[in-house]
Amino acid sequence: MSSSPIFGQLETSLADYLTDITYRARFGDEHAVASVARFELPRLVEALKAVLDEHSPDEYGRCSRCRVRRFGRAPAPCRAYLTAHLCLVVTEEETPEDNPASVRRQVAFGN
């Protein structure tokens, strides 16, 4: 059970949104897939970047947002970075792609 009704509503709303765009990307017609790629994918990338920005390591290499442990903060990369990496990069490496990783990284992070 969620800790608050507001969080429960946010969690449900976000889960429904992610389910909808995943369904449209996998099973939609070409127009639906193009819409997800053009409009929803950039929004998802920006949302993920915002979350990861919150978990950037400080000058000591520790995540500045993760809970403090008894003897200091959790080491970086924290669970947010590790989870994103495992879900996106490790899975990506198993699937052949036409674009090299450096080009994808430049597009995603604007470098």
pLDDT tens sequence across 77-91: 788 888 888 888 876
The pLDDT, as a whole number, for residue 88 is 86
Its pTM stands at 0.68
Q: Which helix (H) or strand (E) holds 92?
A: helix 91-94
Tokens of 59: 């000058």
Residue with tokens 């409009």: 39
* Per-residue pLDDT band at 65 (split at 50, 70, 90): confident
| Structure confidence by residue, pLDDT tens digits, 10-64 | 999 999 999 999 999 999 999 999 999 999 999 999 999 999 998 888 887 778 7
Half-sphere exposure of 48 (CA within 13 A, CB side): 16
Q: How far is CA 85 from the centre of its chain?
A: 9
The pLDDT, as a whole number, for residue 103 is 46
CA distances from 110 to 13, 33, 48, 82 (A): 29, 24, 14, 21
* Per-residue pLDDT band at 3 (split at 50, 70, 90): low
Cis omega (within 30 of 0) for bond into 77 = yes
CA distances from 76 to 79, 82, 83, 89, 109 (A): 8, 9, 12, 17, 20
Whether the per-residue pLDDT at 2 is higher than 60: the answer is: no
Give dist(CA 80, CA 57) in Å, integer: 11
